[in-house]
Amino acid sequence: MVEQVLMGGATCVQYRNKAADQSLRLLQATEIHRLCQKHNVPLIINDDIDLTLEIDAEGLHVGENDTAVPVAKKYLADDKIIGVSCYNQLDRAVAAQAQGASYVAFGAFFPSVTKSDATQAGIELLQAAKSLIRIPVVAIGGINQHNASILLHSGCFAIAVCQGLFTGDDICVTTREFSRLFNKF
């Protein structure tokens, strides 16, 4: 499935598996990283700095109770990507930017099957972020082909999609359709 996403034009992949044990996570992340490297696409590991270091992934994504950006920067090479979940908190994004984050993510903008208890964020947050955030802003949460355009139009740099990709009939085609949305803005 990940290879189909990559063949469809995904420009970044995040590995997130909170349920698996460490050996399965290592196996999955290693294989996904191999696929990403084959397609010259960065792999971001969610909330696991040790796994990021072990497979030499291109980046780490952290949430509120995860590794702090300054700590991650101490362990990761300067060229590594560090993303921060900011939920619906603009001040958290401003702080992450000041600490050296590579990008910030807001959401969930729509109900999410992947993370049903996610904090809800309003579209106006993206518009407010335009004036304060100079690093890329990513929108997450319940994004599909019907609602992605409003997020892109509101100022986000990228969208993070899971359910909207992996439940489609043809993952590669669905990824291409999402990619085409960026050509409109």
Q: Is 85 annotated as a binding residue?
A: yes
Q: Is 112 annotated as a binding residue?
A: yes
Q: Is 66 annotated as a binding residue?
A: yes
Q: Is 47 annotated as a binding residue?
A: yes
Q: Is 74 annotated as a binding residue?
A: no
Q: Is 179 annotated as a binding residue?
A: no
Q: Is 130 annotated as a binding residue?
A: no
Q: Is 180 annotated as a binding residue?
A: no
Q: Is 73 annotated as a binding residue?
A: no
> Which residue, chain included where needed, has tokens 């043809």?
170
Q: Is 113 annotated as a binding residue?
A: yes
Binding residue ranges: 14-18, 46-47, 66, 85, 112-115, 142
Binding residue ranges for Mg(2+): 47, 66
